Amino acid sequence: MKQFSKAEALNRLPDQFFSKLVQKVTKLKAEYDDVINLGQGNPDQPTPVHIIEKLKEAAENPLYHKYSPFEGYFFLKEAVAAYYKREYGVEVDPHTEVAVLAGTKTGLVEISQCLLNQGDVALLPDPGYPDYLSGIALAGAEIHPMPLVAEHRFLPDFSAIPAEVIDKAKLMFLNYPNNPTGAVATPALFEEAIELANKHDVCIVHDFAYGAIGFDGKAPLSFLQMEGAKEVGVEMLTLSKTYNMAGWRVGFAVGNRSVIEAIELLQDHYYCSIFGGIQEAAAHALLSDQSGVTELVAMYERRRDVLVKAAHDMGWEVTAPKGSFFAWFPVPNGYTSEEFADKVLEEARVVIAPGRGFGEHGEGYIRIGLLCDEDVLQEAMDRIKKLQLFPQPAS
C-alpha cells in the first residue's frame, strides 16, 4: 500500500511520553487483576443524574436534530455569563466574550493556531499539561518553559524570563489549580502576569480546568476576577471536572473579545458546534443547584487527607495539594521519576505518573490522582510502604 508523507505540522508534534507507561500498564494488567491505577486524570464518579435527565429530555427536541449554530447556542453562552457572575462576581458579555469549545483540550490547542506565527514564542509552565505543546507545534512557534519549583510554591518567576524571549513572546499559558502540582494561584501572581502582558503585548491563557476544586475552605481564584484580566487574555473553563462530564466534551473560553472572535473564526472552519441536547444539559449544569459540586470537592479532600496521612505514616515527606484532584510527591533518593514509577508498578502493581512526563522540571516527582475510593488509595499506599523505600518515622 502506498505510504503518504505527513504534513510538516504533524511531524512537529511532540512524542507522547505516557504512551510507554500505558503499554507497561496494559502488559501488567494482562498478567494480574489487582493493578491499582493512580496515574490517570479521568474522573471516577458518574455525571449527576439531573444533568443526564436533562439530556434525555433535550434529545427529543427536533430542533437539536439539525445543525447547531456554528458558534453554539446563545442560551449556553448566557449560562456561562450567569455562572461567572454568581461564582466570581465577574460581568461577562455572552455576545462577545464567550466561545463554546468541544472540551478545553480543543481550545488549548486551537488558541496557539489562532494567535501564533512561525518564530513567535509561547511561554508555558514546566511541569505542565502536555497538550499545550501540541498547539504550539502545529503553529510552528517556539517554546520557552517557565519552571515551577517548590521553592517558589510552584508559581512561575516572571523575572527569570530573558528580555529577548519576552520581546518575541505572544502567548502565555497559566494553569491554577495546577496540574500536576496541585498548587493554587495568588492575586499577586495574576497581577504580575497582567502587568507583563500589558507591557509586552502577550496574551494570557488561564487553564481553569480545576477551578471548582479547592481545599481547606478556600475557593480557587479566577483569573477574570483580577482588574484588567479581560484586556489581556482569556480563561478556559471545562465541565469535565466540576460536573464529571469528561466524555461530554463541553468547555468555554471566556474573556478578551479579539481572542474569542479568533477562536470562533477558526472553529467555523473545523466543525459545527456541539449537539444541542448536550448544550442544553450543560447550561442546566451551570445554572442548577450546585450542592453536588460542594459534595464532590469534599470527597476529593477526604481522599487527599487519606493519601497524605498514609504517605507521612511511611516516612514519605510530602506536601498536601491545595487544589485539583492530583498530588505531587517527591521521589525517594536514588531514583528518577520514571525509575520510581516503574518500581512501584512492577513490585506493588500501582500505577503512578512520572513527573518527567510533564516537563524537564517535573523530574524528581510523581503525580498521583485522587480518582478512586479512600480504601483503594489506602491499599495502594500500603503496597508502596512494603517496598521500604522511605526512612521510617520515629515512633
- Specify the DSSP element, H or E, that contains 72: none
In whole angstroms, how far apart are CA 51 and each of 47, 48, 100, 298?
A: 7, 6, 18, 20
CATH fold match for the domains 8-46+291-385 and 49-287: no
Q: Compute how many other C-beta atoms are within 10 angstroms of the C-beta atom of residue 135.
A: 26
> Hey, is 96 helix, strand or coil?
coil
> Hey, is 145 helix, strand or coil?
strand
> Hey, is 249 helix, strand or coil?
coil
Write down the domain spans for the chain: 8-46+291-385, 49-287
- b/e map 262-275, b = 16+ CB within 10 Å: bbbeebeeeeebbb
Q: What pTM was computed for the model? A: 0.95
Rounded average pLDDT per 10-residue block, the chain, 395 residues:
90 81 83 89 94 98 95 97 98 98 95 95 96 94 97 96 95 98 97 97 98 96 98 97 96 98 95 94 97 97 98 96 97 95 94 94 97 97 95 66
Q: How far apart are alpha carbons 329 and 368 in whole angstroms?
A: 8
Q: Grid coordinates representing 315?
A: 516516612
Options 2.102.10.10, 3.90.1150.10, 3.40.190.290, 3.40.50.300; CATH of 8-46+291-385? 3.90.1150.10
CATH architecture of 49-287: 3-Layer(aba) Sandwich (3.40)
Nearest to 115 by CA among 298, 292, 256: 256
- Specify the DSSP element, H or E, that contains 63: none
**According to DSSP H, which parts of the chain are helical?**
8-11, 18-31, 49-59, 74-88, 104-115, 131-139, 163-168, 187-200, 229-232, 257-270, 276-287, 291-313, 337-343, 374-385
- The C-alpha cell 497559566 sits at 174
